[in-house]
Amino acid sequence: MKSIHLIAPSGASLDNKSPLAGINWLEGQGIAVENIDCVNRVYERFAGSDDARLSELNHLSKLDPRALVMAMRGGYGLHRLLPGIEWSAIAKAIQNGLQVCGHSDFTVFQLGLLAKTGAMTLAGPMLNYDFGRLGDDGSPVVPDTFMWQHFQNATESRKLECEVSAPQAFLGKAKTSSLTGLLWGGNLTVVAGLVGTPYLPSNKQTQGGILFLEDVNEHPYRIERMMMQLLDAGILANQGAILLGGFSAYRLYDNDKGYSLERAIEAIRKRLPEETPILTGLPFGHQANKLTLPVGASANLSFNPNGFELKSQW
């Protein structure tokens, strides 16, 4: 990895120190960081005007195909840009070798690109949190070793290998099995918001797939409601398996009276066909120890009541 080309397609940076800390760390690894001016753009809550952010995205098709593109952060903003994105041109650059990485709000771009062209992107680290995270005292936090290792494996070797050892309570009747399918998904709020639009991959594209989901700052009842939406839209039952990553930074209330994330998953489990397993503990989401997942690649999944293994080569 010789260089990273930054883009800021969603929210403006919440502080000035995080992007600079991330850039400094990456440069300390001998990586050239390009297009750094994007981290300073601010228009309302966005990292620049709609026109500026759209132009930056469409410029991806003109980059050296050996480039690695990374989003600065998530937030919100990509939904505004969808009609103007030059999907085919960007997909051609990716087919020629361009790699594009991000998560959170970036799920909008990843699933739109997959729906429109079938092109693959990387759901993985972004500049601010993963490389420029700050401690309580405002000093930079060293990037997570697990994240960095898997990011390098994905970008340099184009390989994913992950083994999770954790009890699996929501397998349904599928107690032990292995399957191969399209790996796709991302932020649950974003995925649910794309239902009924041309920017969500079709049931035909994702039939028998491996759907991964994560979210942040969402109470379990909202997670349940969004997953019910995916269930009633026919999306969950269409999958070979559902992988749940991190659902972080929410707060339970006194009136929950024992209701929890586990109860929410149980409610989905009861309505989902019993042969469709739900697996928990995928190290991915708004958390330091995250995988880099190839959105749109074929992946192999094997599982049993004690854990699962996920592999892909693209």
Indicate which residues carry an active-site annotation: 104, 214, 286
Place of tokens 């952060």: 73
Instruction: Kindly compute the dihedral angle of the four CA atoms of residues 115, 53, 128, 11, in this order, to the nearest 10 degrees.
Output: -90
Kindly state the tokens that stand for 278: 């739900």
